[in-house]
Chains A and B, each alone.
Chain A
Amino acid sequence: MQPANLLLLTIVCVLVAYGVGYARSRSLAMPLGGIRHLKSLPFYYGARAALWCGLPALFVLGLWVAFQGKVIQTLVIGSLPQEMIPGNEGEASLLLSKISNVASGALPPSFVEAPIVDASERLQALREQSRFYMSALVVSVAVLAGFLGWVRIRPKVNARVQVESILKWVFFACAALAILTTLGIIFSVAFETVRFFDKIPITEFIFGSQWSPQTAMRADQVASQGAFGMIPLFTGTLLISAIAMFVAVPVGLLSAIYLSEYANKKVRGVVKPLLEMLAGIPTVVYGFFAALTVAPFISDLAASIGIEASSQSALAAGGVMGIMIIPFVSSLSDDVINAVPQTLRDGSLALGATQSETMKKVIFPAALPGIMGGILLAVSRAIGETMIVVMAAGLAANLTANPLETVTTVTVQIVTLLTGDQEFDSAKTLAAFALGAMLFLSTLLLNVVALKIVRKYREQYD
């Protein structure tokens, strides 16, 4: 049975368990003289039976679905004749895709060696078996646990307390998923990063000024070993982020000031949602705009005044990224400016300062830490932004500060390294995870610092 159908069947079982639990609690209550002699309402007896039935079954189903693929793969590889067992993960994944292609009929069996045909049959058989055992196990767990839950229905049992404590644990598990996700991120990038540093020394990665990850595909091929120095990537990322900030900070900040101090309610009501719209546009749309409109425009403009500009200049990507970040900066500064107590404002105005003087000399200094925090958050967004740079920035890792030249960024390289065809444990692939680790660490640091600043600042005026 397919997992989806099995899920439906489990849900049916749960409903049945609820129904019989409900009925049993009522029928047990009847001879006692009505449901008021039950500890809990019949609903809770039914719900308890349903939880007993559903939770273990769903747990088993989830585990089985998560791990069956890997287990079957290992079994199939293990069943191959000795001389065909692949040496590394790359070969293994190639062989596996061949086997599964034969099994699915995409590749005619006559095209491949006999052991592979055997293996594909074995794969089919294992899949069948897995499906069968999974169905049997899940259904029997559901029925058995549901039956146990049903049998244990007694008028004296306080089903409500039990149901509520189970629910509470379920809620807790959902909240704890955030920790699990963070751990998943840390472990998934950390493992591969450590393996990467086995191949490439960490000093070369951090201090190297050359980035060209083309490694030889075959051992006998003449090709460069590949250079993995991340400095050009980080300077490229910083250059583009700096350009973005150069656009976003003045525009975002000034529009926030205008909207919070000068604009009347009507203007605010129209302009604010429009600005927010900029934040809702998908990044791929900005990338499209940057790559196909802004970048050619900039290179034409530069050519017309006699400067040479790359058609994938950092300026195009950075400028468009800046537009994307405007609402981010403006809404954060808006919050901060509005949090400055009105008394400061009134005091300054009463002394005869104009509105702009009040803004510049009183409110802005008071709001500065919060605004800095907001800008740091915006920087972390700019660093992690992917689609705009993938589409509008180039792949050439130049070490330059000229905004008209092509630079590449960390995120561009992650996408390029991981979307091509490659074996999983090559230095190239692992390098992407190492870059991801660096990206995660730097944005995490920025966020933690920024949140701390913002929070500290808020406490000042609370």
Chain B
Amino acid sequence: MTDQKTQAELVRRSLKVRYRKERRFRAYGILAIGIALSALIVLFADIIGKGYTGFTKTTITMDVEMDGEMMFLDDATDEQQLKMADFVEPLVQAMIKQIPGADEDDRDKVRGLLNPYASNELKNLLKANPDWLGETHTITVLAHTDVDVYVKHAGDAAYSIKLSDEQQRWVDGLLESGVVDTSFNDVFFSSGDSRDPSRAGILGAIVGSLLTMFVTLVLSFPIGVAAAIYLEEFAPQNKFTDFIEVNINNLAAVPSIIFGLLGLAVFINLFGMPRSVPVVGGLVLTLMTLPTIIISSRAAIKSVPPSIREAAEGIGASKMQVVLHHVLPLAMPGMLTGSIIGMAQALGETAPLLLIGMVAFIVDVPEGFLDSATVLPVQVFLWAGSPELAFIERASAAIMVLLAFLISMNALAVWLRKRLELRW
């Protein structure tokens, strides 16, 4: 009796400690989730903080007098003359007029504020409007990258300002008078890569990604669905089928870089296909995403209830008709969801594409499946490796675009699942 009493006493006394332990354990769980979620928040905040300035560009708007004599040009329709003409001078003169206190002697410093490409912009304008020669027009040209960095990050210690003190004062004045201004960075979305950060864009990478994804989708979806149908519906129970399944499961866990080695050895060295083209990238990504698609498609086929099959068979449909006319349409939403998730994975994949040469510096926007191209994540990788901080800003902006694509793809998958997937 007494013995039991003390035992109960012991338990009661230990309760406090035990409840404290319970609370502590629970707190650990919350802490763990907190760590994971704060990592996510820090990651997003860091990238947005670094990259939102990448969506603006710095421009210079001013009245430019297109004096034929100054430009050594008397006929703007003449290709030969356009080639030889001086398009820098009118811009420099217009700038000097805008900057109080600047004169002819400062022309090199003034020129340092203009983008090296600005003269080309003027040339294109004049080519489009030959009658502008001799007139004065208000035009907007890109500012130099150094100006861009100064305008966006003047107080930021991480960025080194390359403008001289005098130039900085000028830019401050020009900012106030509205000559130098920032606006939405359309260049970023309408051009390919460039050595000059203020002219570098992601259009080339986006088009490259789209071409690569197209090849991947066209190959991996039908093949994956067909393989899933075979394994679920037709495969006999034998060693060979088991072997196929083991292979698929293992391939799903093989590091992606190994697929790059495969692509390099087989597609490029054995078949002699060209390097850094979307077709080869798409083939490699197809092999990589196939296991994901097969596994999710099998799950979708499995979830179709046997009653559907039995009903179809009962009214005389052949096995293939049961599958193609009844099971497949019902499993399609699940298959689509799985494929979209697989495609999102492929879109973010970088490592295998590095090995098949999609890391080249490519200025032109690719026009076909056999043009040299790069993809969005590789573009991020290339820019992130640049010592110039202005490129880091572009890389962050490109990451935001990439994440926007991925999030919308995943949202589409979730929506499809909610909307179309049938519950049995």
- A positions within 8 Å CB-CB of B: 4, 66-70, 72-73, 160, 164, 167-168, 170-172, 174-179, 181-182, 184-185, 188-189, 191-192, 250-255, 257-259, 262, 271, 274-275, 277-278, 280-289, 291-293, 323, 326-327, 330, 352, 354-357, 359-360, 377, 380-381, 383-387, 390-391, 411, 414-415, 418-419, 424, 432-433, 436, 439-440, 443-444, 447-448, 451
Contacts of B396 in A (CB 8 A): 288
What residue in chain B is nearest A248 (Cβ atoms)?
Answer: B36
| Residues of chain B lying within 8 A (CB to CB) of residue A286 | 43
Q: Which residue of A lies closest to B18 (CB)?
A: A354
Q: Are B250 and A447 in contact (CB under 8 A)?
A: yes
Main SS of the interface on chain B? helix
Say yes or no for B231: interface residue by CB 8 A criterion.
yes
Report if B179 contacts A (CB, 8 A). no
Q: Which of B11, B226, B271 contacts A174 (CB 8 A)?
A: B226
Residues of B within 8 A of A444 (CB): 250, 254
Interface centre among A66, A175, A418, A424 (most CB of B within 10 A): A175
A384 with B258, Cβ < 8 A, contacts A254-B32, A356-B21, A415-B354 known: yes
Kindly state the separation between the CA atoms of A182 and B47 in the bound complex, as whole angstroms.
38
Contact of A282 among B50, B395, B406 (CB under 8 A): B406
Q: Is B349 an interface residue (CB 8 A)?
A: yes
Residue of B nearest to A384 (CB): B255
Contacts of A274 in B (CB 8 A): 37, 40
Smallest CB separation, A430 vs chain B (Å): 11
B334 within 8 A of A: no
Q: Are A284 and B380 in contact (CB under 8 A)?
A: yes
Q: Which residues of B contact A67 (CB under 8 A)?
A: 271-272
Assuming A69-B272, A73-B272, A323-B39, is B384 touching A282 (CB within 8 A)? no
B349 and A177 form a contact (CB under 8 A)? no
A288 with B399: CB separation less than 8 A: yes
Using CB atoms and an 8 Å cutoff, list the residues of chain B in contact with chain A: 11, 18-19, 21-22, 25-26, 28-33, 35-37, 39-40, 43, 46-47, 50, 222-224, 226-227, 229-231, 234-235, 243-244, 247-251, 253-262, 264-266, 269-274, 287, 290-291, 294, 318-320, 344, 347-351, 354-355, 357, 359, 369, 377-378, 380-381, 384-385, 392, 395-396, 399, 402-403, 406, 410
| Alpha-carbon gap, A179 to B231, bound state (A) | 13
CB of B257 within 8 A of CB of A280, answer no
Q: Would you call A419 and B354 a contact (CB within 8 A)?
A: yes
A70 to B267, CA, bound (A): 11
Which residues of chain A have C-beta atoms less than 8 A from B385's C-beta?
391
CB of A151, distance to nearest CB on chain B (Å) = 25
Q: What is the minimal beta-carbon distance from B278 to any residue of chain A, in angstroms?
A: 12
On whether the beta carbons of A285 and B265 are closer than 8 Å, the reply is no
The CB with the most chain A CB atoms within 10 A, among B39, B235, B274, B318, is that of B39
Partner of A250, one of B32, B229, B410: B32
The answer to whether A326 touches B36 (Cβ under 8 A) is yes
Provided the pairs A443-B254, A447-B253 are in contact, do residues A323 and B36 lie with their beta carbons within 8 angstroms? yes
Contact of B243 with A439 in the complex, beta carbons under 8 Å: no
B380 shortest CB reach to chain A, Å? 5
Given contacts A257-B29, A424-B269, contact A171 B230 (CB under 8 A): yes
